[in-house]
Amino acid sequence: MIPHMCGIAGFLGPWNDRLLDAMLDQIAHRGPDGRGIWRDREANFAVGHARLSIIDLSLAANQPMHTADGRYVISFNGEIYNFKELRRELESAGLVFRTKSDTEVLLRLFECEGQSCLRRLNGIFAFAVWDRALRHLFIARDQLGVKPLYYAAIPHGFLFASELKALTVCPDVSRDIDVGSVANHVAFVWSSSASTMLKAVRKLRPGHCAWIDANARLTIEQYYEIPLPPPSCERVEPAALLTLFDSVVADQMVADVPIGACLSGGVDSSAVVASMCRTTDPARVVTFCASVPKDRTHADNFGDDIIHARGMARRLEIPLVEVPTTAQLVDQLPQMLWELDEPTGDFAALQTRMIAAEARRHGIKVLLTGTGGDDLFTGYGRHVAAFIWAALDQIPYARRLTSRLISRFRSDFVLGRRLGRLGQLLALSEEEMLTEAMSFSSWPAGERSSLVAKAAGQWQASHSAPFSWLLGKTRELHPVERLLQLDLHGFLPDLNLNYTDKMGMQEGVEFRVPLLDLRLVAFAMRTPVSQKIGLWQTKRILREAMAARVNGAILRRAKQGFGVPLRAWMAGPARSLVAEMTSPRVLAARGLFDPAAVARLRNAFDQNRSDVAFMLFTLVCIEIWCRQLSCRPSLASTDARDAA
């Protein structure tokens, strides 16, 4: 009785059914349970849908779906958690429904209220609605960016799809690389704003919608804005968070198929699973945890998750499936990067896919995760650094003195790397610290600026563009709150949520993110900084709220990364790959990076002089992604268009 996580694709322009079929082929993994297409030939509009059935499994709920009078047609990817309440409201107004799906509720709500319906939706979604009467297309993406939506607005038409790769099959979509996006990937591992690796393709930003008229003119509007904390926050009660948390988790367990969960052994996922066990029989809550061998080099912070996950599973008396993630990463890297639509150098993506594949083998199509807890209530090392920066900034000379004392720690072990990084950040002004804290590398900004050959002159604009407007908007907030806003607007949708969606959909599994429910977002904004973070503890209020449900060892454990020991892997099994992909010959042929600057970066990594592993690996990933792009054919123009 609920929605379906799927894939959508379509166009408004002079193309034919063969192009739509090719686009759907690229996202077929998103909808293994069915495919549908719909055309308005008079208007040169076509839309398709690949279905993963989760709510209302009947054929009546197939998409694209149209209203009874045929005016509106929708293709929808996502879940509307409050669709039952909305349905009751519409039925009380006299509307009659043909299915039990949330798709029909969304369609009828749009029919009644148009764009204003977005303010009523609690869910995760990306959808397109075609108005046959006005020959207008409407597209929208959910408030936090859980579900993706890409588009290409070109002179003679408009194309959209759930994944970038579906747009590359159109011969009219240029494959020219966006150098600004390359620069942002180098700096941050991801690219924020609407940019993608291709100049011609854009991301519809979270909380945005757009109208496209009959002449393919595009008008984008923002319908939701992540709230800012008020000037002063009063203390909130952990019991209130607990009550709200349980309500949200219960809402997101609605489905007509079995639901499981990711259990990493951290606070967030443990809290979600503990809450699930209050809604249903714990024996039915099958959980999954990635198993990573402990890094014996001490260069990376991985390996303890499975121990804590086992303890939590024993406490809750729930099934736990351990998923080994020691596959041949080199062999899987090219395919992973193409599936992500971005050259994201983070093997947490591959782990996510392995978990999704194991869930599917257990007959589970939906997994709840703890994604978002760090971005709402703090949790990352950069949040602690910003807290320390703010505390020391109140004492004359304390910040810079501390920076000098700790900035030269060795980077070849975890504690030394963290202290050295903290020392770097403490030496910066607040604005510089916030931008620099979003980087995964300690490589100086000046050196970074020399890496991107084609963008050396415009580096500063590329480097700060994703954040500049937000830094100005948040200037009156505590540095930690400002950093959380950067996370919510960039790191979360453009890295974590992107790989979670793409990897889950590769296996036909939907990941849900209860911690990103808008009610919890609003609650987090009302929570004072002091209840989120202290010198020795992050997520203070969440830990306090979950004290009676979550193991003490989990509540006390330090933050651990999700992924694989990248630094040790690059220095060992992947050494030859890194050398090849960053060789002067390869760099010169691609023309994106300066070989001399890259050589300095490689030397810093080889000699453990600076923590540059993620930056160096990103260069490798960009080269591999570009190679994948070049070997993925587009349709011939004669195949994509009908003869004139």
Query: pLDDT > 70: what percent of the chain?
Result: 92
Question: What's 345-391 look like in SS3?
Answer: CCCHHHHHHHHHHHHHHCCCCEEECCCCHHHHHCCCHHHHHHHHHHH
DSSP alpha helix (H) spans, 264-367:
267-279, 305-316, 329-340, 348-361
Task: Compute the average pLDDT of residues 40-46.
Answer: 96
1 — pLDDT class (breaks 50, 70, 90): very low
pLDDT at 414 over 90: no
Task: Compute the average pLDDT of residues 262-270.
Answer: 95
Q: What element of type H or E holds 578?
A: helix 575-581
pLDDT in tens, 211-230: 999 999 999 999 999 999 99
Task: Compute the average pLDDT of residues 627-636.
Answer: 95
pLDDT at 450 over 80: yes
68 — pLDDT class (breaks 50, 70, 90): very high
Q: Supply the pLDDT for residue 21.
A: 94
pLDDT at 65 over 70: yes
Task: Compute the average pLDDT of residues 34-43.
Answer: 92
For residue 641, count other CB atoms closer than 10 A to its CB: 17
Structure tokens at 377: 């209530």
pLDDT at 582 over 60: yes
- Higher-pLDDT residue of 627 and 328 is 627
3 — pLDDT class (breaks 50, 70, 90): very low
Q: CA-to-CA distance for 438 and 491, rounded, in angstroms?
A: 8
Please tell me what DSSP assigns to residue 227: P
Task: Compute the average pLDDT of residues 590-597.
Answer: 94
Q: Supply the pLDDT for residue 225.
A: 96
Structure tokens at 98: 């043909």
Q: Supply the pLDDT for residue 31.
A: 81
461 — pLDDT class (breaks 50, 70, 90): very low
Asked if residue 436 lies in contact with residue 382, where contact means CB atoms within 8 angstroms, the answer is no
Strand-pairing partners, residue 593, are 452
Task: Compute the average pLDDT of residues 475-498.
Answer: 96
Task: Compute the average pLDDT of residues 476-480.
Answer: 97
**Lowest model confidence (mean pLDDT) among 52-61, 117-126, 306-315, 487-496:** 52-61
Q: Supply the pLDDT for residue 135.
A: 97
Asked if residue 272 lies in contact with residue 368, where contact means CB atoms within 8 angstroms, the answer is yes
Tell me the backbone φ, ψ of residue 134, rounded to 5 degrees.
-95, -10
pLDDT in tens, 171-190: 999 999 999 899 999 989 88
pLDDT in tens, 353-378: 999 999 999 999 899 999 999 999 99
Q: Supply the pLDDT for residue 508.
A: 87
- Higher-pLDDT residue of 255 and 286 is 286
pLDDT at 600 over 60: yes
Which range is most confident: 300-314, 434-448, 613-627?
Answer: 613-627
Q: Supply the pLDDT for residue 611.
A: 84
Task: Compute the average pLDDT of residues 441-453.
Answer: 85
Q: Supply the pLDDT for residue 523.
A: 98
Q: Supply the pLDDT for residue 601.
A: 94
Task: Please give the distance of CA 170 from its chain centroid, rounded to a whole number.
Answer: 25
Q: Supply the pLDDT for residue 478.
A: 97
Q: CA-to-CA distance for 123 and 304, rounded, in angstroms?
A: 33
Q: Supply the pLDDT for residue 513.
A: 97
- Higher-pLDDT residue of 94 and 329 is 94
Q: Supply the pLDDT for residue 462.
A: 46
Q: Supply the pLDDT for residue 5.
A: 60
Q: Supply the pLDDT for residue 457.
A: 44
Q: Supply the pLDDT for residue 328.
A: 65
Q: Supply the pLDDT for residue 299.
A: 52
Closest alpha carbon to 137 in 203, 209, 202? 209
Please tell me what DSSP assigns to residue 139: E
Domains of the chain with CATH codes: 7-177+185-225 (3.60.20.10), 238-376+513-556 (3.40.50.620)
Q: Supply the pLDDT for residue 562.
A: 59
Average pLDDT, the chain: 90
pLDDT at 559 over 80: no
Closest alpha carbon to 598 in 309, 197, 588, 551? 588
Query: pLDDT > 90: what percent of the chain?
Result: 74
Q: Supply the pLDDT for residue 413.
A: 74
- Higher-pLDDT residue of 566 and 551 is 551
